[in-house]
Structure 1
């Protein structure tokens, strides 16, 4: 589909696009309730390390990246968009939408809570509504943990955060199998069978 002429061609235009999504009061814009027409794709990409690029150049202003992040939405088609009440533009995502850069663990056992901070300032407690999932990277066999932040948007745990999380792992019996897992807000998140832990490339 050809790009719409309404797509801004510079950073100032992009900022104006996002400013139209500003809502009164605190909290994130209600992007799930907005259903504007698709306006085409932007030459914008979120790289695997969490860096945002526009037209091949890193976006250096953190405040602008934070602004963009508040109007991200991943739809059922698997694609990611910037959404305002009147515009919907596609962007590319290399891996995850965010990077989890900090972890705080409080409490113990079933009362333990894992709280994450993302590179754009989201604070998320892992739990039933914000689950952790773990995959093995096909390229290098390494463990890749993801946290659901909101909607269908996920954060990849940065390597130091992943190591910290694994340090809080324990062996837990799940459906008759001993799993290496972590707990948060009363929910158990299995990482892998306990017997495979030593073979895993972290």
Structure 2
């Protein structure tokens, strides 16, 4: 597995190329029988654990993250063509740890790097949402197929600074032609 790119040194064209090279297994097409529990969990801070011990090798975490799937009932599983195992997720399975911003206003683009090294550009297919938590706003980025990344607090502050400087009637950010207000959605 290739090392994670340094977002700050990449141009927008290089980021797009790196995102296009991210190939994932077709986990949505795999439907094996449920086999049990993986004895793994993902902590709120994005640390992956197996049998209570942190998984120290980023390459292993990245590999497991590629076979992670969210089931229709909200459970998270690790899935291969022949087995499906539960995995406990305390909040979101990923954490957005780095933000690269290019452009201004409606022409802006926000690219996030996850704790797994993956790159995700916010936009119509990768929305941002915000919840109010006991510890303040909790921002999330849609990664894929119902999987989300909790946006790390320093990255959220970058978003908030951009939103407040944007001059929109509702504080928010633009990315890939989509506007994301920095307010928690009203309960349904």
Per the shorter chain, which TM-score range?
0.7 to 0.9
The structure with higher relative contact order (CA 8 Å, sep 6+) is: 2
Contact 2:78 2:85 in 1 (8 A): yes
1:1-202 matched pairs, under 5 angstroms: 27-137=23-133, 139-140=134-135, 142-169=136-163, 170-172=166-168, 178-192=169-183
Q: CA deviation at 1:110?
A: 1.2
**Greater Cα radius of gyration, structure 1 or 2:** 1
How far residue 72 of structure 1 moved from its aligned partner, in angstroms, is 0.2
TM-score after normalising by structure 1: 0.77
- Contact kept in structure 2, 1:118 and 1:155, CA below 8 Å: yes
Q: CA deviation at 1:145?
A: 0.6
Do 1:80 and 1:92's aligned partners in 2 also have CA atoms closer than 8 Å?
yes
Query: TM-score under structure 2 normalisation?
Result: 0.83
1:42, distance to aligned residue in structure 2 (A): 1.8
How many residue pairs were aligned?
162
- 8 Å CA contact 1:111–1:184 kept in 2: the answer is yes
4+ runs of 1 displaced by more than 2 Å? Answer: none
In structure 1, the gaps of 5 or more residues are: 1-24, 173-177, 194-202
Contact 2:105 2:173 in 1 (8 A): no
Give SS of 2:73's match: coil
CA drift of 1:192 comes to 2.5
